[in-house]
Amino acid sequence: MIDFRLDEEYEALRKTVEDFARSEVAPVIGEFYERAEFPYQLVAKMGQMGLFGLPFPESVGGMGGDYFALCLALEELARVDSSVAITLEAGVSLGAMPLYRFGNEEQRQRWLPRLCSGAGLGAFGLTEPGGGSDAGATRTTAKIVDGEWVINGSKAFITNSGTEITELVTVTAVTGEKPNGHKEISAIIVPAGTPGFTVAPKYSKVGWNASDTRELAFADCRVPAENLLGERGRGYAQFLSILDEGRVAIAAVSVGLAQGCIDECLRYVGERETFGNKIGSYQAIQFKIADMEARTHTARLAYYQAAAKMLRGEPFKKEAAIAKLVASNAAMDNSREATQIFGGYGFMNEFPVGRFYRDAKILEVGEGTSEVQRMLISRELGVGA
């Protein structure tokens, strides 16, 4: 029998995170956002709740849950604020997950307990200033010299890479040439504070203002040879698989933002009056909210299905791309409509919908643009193959 209801454990988690987001995040996040300040106190509380360890086993300091549990937490956080949601998403799916998926036992035991506790954050250095969606155009290099990797190059738009609690950045680098002439790309763990590893000042961003995003530079940065993550020459393939999972997580964040727009609008249309009537009595407003609900409902089902296939060990690349595409579109459309419903107030940062509008756009770009998602979907369908 098909049943889309959450079981008791998932529902308990969802409700716990919802309560935290409403009572702890909502009252203060606007001030952090305005100051473009990283919310260390909130991140610490999220760590104490076990959110950073949700999909990892207890043997490495995790909570013994699964990736769907993480997605539920992300959705509830993003209903209130996307900065804290993306801090969790990047810390888990991009920072810690590569270590869990591809690290050896020593690497796992060294790094994962602190990352799972939220005491430390990991980051994922893939994108480069001239690379964008073309991750295969990696120019950062790493060569073995006297038993150490010597890394040179730069990375751009890297989340969680410059906080006071950042522990490491895993970077992709060209480590040689394959027999077919293509670049050999490997993944290498670079601990924070390593000489030759420079973190630039944080970007001035349109949205996600309470999250940490930086450009990174490597100038003869040396790390031990054993900091290779996974198999040499498999770094690009490893991270492509990580991105498939990450797209499901970004879809969950997008659904949360889209739902948050609905939540705010339902409150507002029951209070705001024009021409002597509550604006919720006007069919134009009713239809806008109905469309918002339909988009969000559809997007939620899409990421639920992608997560279900992932947990069953079935191929889910197409479903992840669909979920990310549909959900990010829903977030962008809902935030635009919410801002319209709020009118002039929607343009003010003191109202959540103003933040939602600013935060939504990057969801159509990060972890694969909407165009990349369409490429993946059509490729999986055999179009143009």
Report, as residue numbers or ranges, the catalytic residues. Answer: 367
d(C-alpha 57, C-alpha 332), whole Å: 35
Q: Which residues of 126-153 are buried (b: 16+ CB within 10 A; e: fewer)?
A: bbbeebeeebeebebbbeeeeebbbbbb
d(C-alpha 352, C-alpha 81), whole Å: 8
Enumerate the H helices of 36-170 as residue ranges. Answer: 40-48, 67-78, 82-89, 97-102, 105-117
CA 153 distance to own-chain centroid: 24
Q: What are the residues whose beta carbons fall under 8 Å from the beta carbon of 41, sequence distance 6 or more?
A: none
As to burial, measured by CB atoms within 10 angstroms (0-12 exposed, 13-18 middle, 19+ buried), residue 198 is: middle
CA angle 95–190–369, rounded 5-degree value: 45
Identify any residues that bridge with 152 across adjacent strands, giving them in sequence order: 141
Q: Which residues of 207-246 are buried (b: 16+ CB within 10 A; e: fewer)?
A: bbbbbbbbbbbbeebbbeeebbbbebbbbbebbeebbbbb
Phi/psi for 218 (5° steps) reads -125, 120
Q: Per the structure block, which two tokens stand in for 37? A: 């300040």
d(C-alpha 116, C-alpha 143), whole Å: 31
Q: Which residues of 277-309 are buried (b: 16+ CB within 10 A; e: fewer)?
A: eebbeeeebeebbeebbebbeebbebbbbbbeb
As to burial, measured by CB atoms within 10 angstroms (0-12 exposed, 13-18 middle, 19+ buried), residue 179 is: exposed
d(C-alpha 172, C-alpha 156), whole Å: 12
Say if strands 121-125 and 166-177 run parallel, antiparallel, or are unpaired: parallel
Listed residue (280, 283, 279, 326) closest to 301, CA to CA? 326
